[in-house]
Copies of this chain bind each other. A is one copy, B any other.
Amino acid sequence: MPQDSRKQQGDTTRDTLIKTATRVFAELGYHGASTRAIAKAADVNQALIGYHFGGKEDLYQAVFVAIAEALEQRMTTRLEQLKVLLAEPDPAPEECLVALETFCGGLVELMLQPETEYWSQLILREQQHPGPAFDVLYERFMGRVLGITTRLVGHLRPDLQSDEVKTLVITVLGQILVWRFARTGIQRHMGWSSPDIEAIKHRVFTNIRLLLTKEPLE
Tell whether, in the assembled complex, residue A128 and residue B138 are in contact, meaning their CB atoms are under 8 Å apart: no
**Which chain B positions have C-beta within 8 A of A29?**
29-32, 125
Residue of B nearest to A214 (CB): B210
Q: Contact between A200 and B167 (Cβ–Cβ < 8 Å)?
A: yes
Least CB distance from A166 to B in Å reads 5
Q: Is A177 an interface residue (CB 8 A)?
A: yes
Q: Does A190 sit at the interface, judged by CB under 8 A? A: yes
Give chain B nearest CB distance to A203 CB in angstroms. Answer: 5
> A190 to B165, alpha carbons, bound, how many Å?
10
Q: Which one of B26, B182, B196 contacts A174 once the chains associate, using CB atoms below 8 Å?
A: B182
In the complex, A200 Cα to B121 Cα: how many Å? Answer: 26
Give the distance in Å from the alpha carbon of A181 to the alpha carbon of B183 in the complex.
Answer: 13
Taking the closest CB of chain B, its distance from the CB of A191, in whole angstroms, is 9
CB <8 Å contact, B189 and A178: no
A interface, how many residues as a size bin?
A: 35 or more
The complex places the Cα of A181 from the Cα of B138 at a distance, in Å, of 15
Say if the beta carbon of A204 comes within 8 Å of chain B: yes
Q: Are B204 and A171 in contact (CB under 8 A)?
A: yes
- Selected contact of A181 from candidates B124, B184, B217, CB within 8 Å: B124
Whether A7 sits at the interface, judged by CB under 8 Å, is no
Can you spell out 18 A-B residue pairs with CB atoms less than 8 angstroms apart? A30-B32, A124-B181, A125-B125, A130-B184, A138-B185, A142-B185, A146-B185, A163-B199, A164-B199, A170-B175, A170-B179, A171-B203, A171-B204, A173-B182, A174-B176, A206-B217, A210-B210, A211-B211
Contacts A138-B188, A163-B196, A210-B210 known; list 13 others, CB within 8 Å: A28-B31, A29-B125, A32-B32, A146-B189, A147-B189, A163-B190, A163-B199, A168-B203, A170-B189, A171-B204, A177-B181, A181-B181, A206-B216
